[in-house]
């Protein structure tokens, strides 16, 4: 069985779908974050480009957002 990835890269073309797309990606990583005792970091990489990852720099149970 393959281990799920601890990070996702998404591109959003429709600004109206931003919250929904980020929430879905975050939901996929919540079990990994909980299992590792870490939180989730969402990084805006550019217009419509985001990385969502399990991060040791974010406390368990929290999600931080930054702009890179």
Q: Hey, what are 41's tokens?
A: 């970091």
Q: For residue range 6-61, list pLDDT tens digits in order.
A: 899 999 999 999 999 999 999 999 999 999 999 999 999 999 999 999 999 999 99
The answer to whether 41 touches 63, Cβ cutoff 8 Å, is yes
Task: In the chain, count H helices and then E strands.
Answer: 1, 4
**14 Cβ contact partners less than 8 Å away, ≥ 6 residues apart:** none
Do residues 68 and 56 touch, judged by C-beta distance below 8 A? no
Can you tell me whether residue 15 is helix, strand or coil?
A: helix
Which residue ranges make up each domain of the chain? 7-67
Instruction: Please tell me the predicted confidence (pLDDT) of residue 4.
Output: 60
């Amino acid at each position: 069985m393959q281990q799920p990835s601890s990070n996702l890269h998404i591109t959003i073309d429709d600004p109206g779908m931003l919250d929904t797309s980020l929430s879905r990606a975050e939901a996929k990583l919540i079990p990994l974050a909980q299992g590792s005792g870490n939180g989730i970091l969402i990084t805006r990489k550019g217009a419509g480009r985001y990385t969502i990852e399990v991060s040791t720099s974010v406390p368990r149970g929290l999600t931080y957002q930054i702009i890179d």
